[in-house]
Chain A
Amino acid sequence: MNKKTLEATAPWILLVLTLVIWQATCSLFNVSEFIFPSPYRIAQQTVEFSGVIAAHAWRTYWVTMAGFGIAIVVGVLLGFVIGSSRLAYAAVYPLMTAFNALPKAAFVPILVVWFGIGIGPAILTAFLISFFPIMVNIATGLATLEPELEDVLRVLGAKRWDVLVKVGLPRSMPYFFGSLKVAITLAFVGTTVSEMTAANEGIGYLLISAGSAMQMGLAFSGLVVVGAMAMVMYELFSYIEKHTTGWAHRSTNNE
């Protein structure tokens, strides 16, 4: 097996290894499935409740994507504004940092008062938790412009807008796609957390109700499903990133 295929299969090998050790530990020490279910038990329950899980998973998925969509729009717009104006950067950035430090789960009770139980709080929590990295990355991409290049363009009579569109935006694209990968996983966290207290549907709700019914296998299935969805979306954006901004990922011999 050459190095490349080994690298590609390494995560799968590690996964299988973990499952084997997990299963062995549970069987060997006879761990109660109400405390810590074995992988086999989790798989069993996943199949048993597959219809229910799929329904909740679909709900979590589209709610997350809705919140993530809003996060992209708002994050790009805000990032564009604070990346293109020094004043806006100085004004907005400290407040945004403070906002980002707040635990987003703490917003859920407030959102419930405003929007009631259901999709409202979940979408908004996913949005609140995921727009920040997008905004920061767009702003960084726009703000890092070589002074020489700016001179070259300004001497031609380029307006600020020209410089932003011809240089700033393309330059920030790798940062943008990089941030999407991070943001989508955060968005799943936001949705799940919100659903745990403020919904009657979704994986978060499933986790809570399975837990309270001592259905530990089912609760773990829920975790596995959220993890799998986040992983798939991450890989999707990673793929898009590689195929749209390949120029940023090649080792160059310049400069």
Chain B
Amino acid sequence: MTTANFVDFQNVWLAYNDELLAENHFAVEDINLQVKQGEFIAIVGPSGCGKSTFMKLTTGLKRPSKGQILVDGQPVTGPLKISGMAFQAPSLLPWRTTLDNVLLPLEIVEPFRSEFKQRKDEFAERASKLLRTVGLGGYEDKFPWQLSGGMQQRASICRALIHEPKMLLLDEPFGALDAFTREELWCILRDLWTEQKFNVILVTHDLRESVFLADTVYVMSKSPGRFVVKKEIDLPRPRDLEVTYTPEFTHIVHELRGHIGAIRQAGAVINQ
């Protein structure tokens, strides 16, 4: 594993359009962020602080108004095919089976796209294997509406990983799930990451989730969206769910909670 920075944000500013740019109204301001190869980072902050904007910048769906973003040493100029995304809504296609939903990226991204017809069986086997690792073995031929919310979200994460991306972007992926299912999926994500060591950028508002999973947690402030705190989580790995009940864990969560509280206070003063 190299020690070079995999994701490198250098003084990145983004205004959503030219009018807002002229008014100096930025969605995110002066972002500086260095992520190492294989690092798992989490971004927490109050809602509307530009967390999702940050994701769009990282994947190249949005271009910064100022500053530069490097991913894997290359400046980001357009959508990055080495990344996979999953959101709070699983957004599976209802007319496709679970297996076909997971295979969708391979029908689009090169080099798999041009080989899709010849290597279909091989790809299907790969998808089945991935589904088995998240506990969806045997559900390949079920349709999304036959799965529970947690199962759909697992399938959605499989879809994000099927083309073996170097970077996985998760935007509040467990936000709509009940507490037990959520913790179950934390462990599934932890195991996938431990095994494959892709980069993860997890946007969440669940502090326990961020501390349990991430190497580094960034706290973002709201209007302007800035990174205000960087917190290295030095809890030993591998982490079990038990760790969430230790004083060390609680202490870190409390500390982050304090930062968020301060941001929200500050926001209340200027009435936003």
Most buried by B among A148, A152, A156, A173: A156
Stretch from B38-46, B78-86, B231-239 at the A interface? B78-86
A157 in contact with B94 (CB, 8 Å): no
Q: How far is the CA of A173 from the CA of B94 in the complex (A)?
A: 12
Min CB distance, B168 to chain A, in Å?
11
Q: How far is the CA of A245 from the CA of B93 in the complex (A)?
A: 13
B-contacting residues, A19-33, CB 8 Å = none
What are the residues of chain B within 8 A of A156 when measuring CB–CB?
Answer: 79, 81, 105, 108-109, 163
A152 in contact with B91 (CB, 8 Å): yes
Q: Check if A7 is an interface residue, CB within 8 A of chain B.
A: no
Interface size on B, residues (CB 8 A): 35
B61 in contact with A157 (CB, 8 Å): no
Min CB distance, B108 to chain A, in Å?
5
What are the residues of chain B within 8 A of A254 when measuring CB–CB?
Answer: 90, 92, 144-145, 147, 149, 152
Q: Check if B252 is an interface residue, CB within 8 A of chain A.
A: no
What are the residues of chain A within 8 A of B56 when measuring CB–CB?
Answer: 151
What are the residues of chain A within 8 A of B94 when measuring CB–CB?
Answer: 247-248, 252
Q: Check if A95 is an interface residue, CB within 8 A of chain B.
A: no
Please judge, given known A-B contacts A166-B108, A254-B145, A255-B89, whether A155 and B79 are in contact too, CB under 8 Å. Answer: yes
Please judge, given known A-B contacts A146-B89, A153-B108, A166-B108, whether A252 and B145 are in contact too, CB under 8 Å. Answer: yes
Chain B residue at minimum C-beta to C-beta distance from A248: B94
What are the residues of chain A within 8 A of B95 when measuring CB–CB?
Answer: 170-171, 173, 245, 247-248
Interface size on A, residues (CB 8 A): 25
Please judge, given known A-B contacts A156-B105, A170-B93, A248-B94, whether A151 and B148 are in contact too, CB under 8 Å. Answer: no
A155 in contact with B80 (CB, 8 Å): yes
What are the residues of chain A within 8 A of B115 when measuring CB–CB?
Answer: none
Binary contact readout B57-85 vs A (1 if CB under 8 angstroms, 0 otherwise): 00111000000000000000001110111
Q: Check if A212 is an interface residue, CB within 8 A of chain B.
A: no
Please judge, given known A-B contacts A170-B93, A254-B152, whether A155 and B60 are in contact too, CB under 8 Å. Answer: yes
Q: Check if A112 is an interface residue, CB within 8 A of chain B.
A: no
Q: How far is the CA of A249 from the CA of B107 in the complex (A)?
A: 27
Please judge, given known A-B contacts A155-B59, A254-B144, whether A148 and B108 are in contact too, CB under 8 Å. Answer: no
Q: Give 12 CB contacts A-B under 8 Å.
A: A148-B87, A149-B93, A153-B104, A155-B80, A155-B83, A156-B79, A162-B108, A166-B108, A167-B93, A170-B93, A253-B145, A253-B149
Apart from A148-B87, A151-B87, A247-B143, 7 more pairs, CB < 8 Å:
A152-B85, A155-B59, A155-B80, A157-B79, A157-B109, A162-B108, A245-B95
B residues at A contact (CB < 8 Å): 56, 59-61, 79-81, 83-87, 89-95, 104-105, 107-110, 143-145, 147-149, 152, 159-160, 163
A residues at B contact (CB < 8 Å): 146, 148-149, 151-158, 162, 166-167, 170-171, 173, 245, 247-248, 250, 252-255
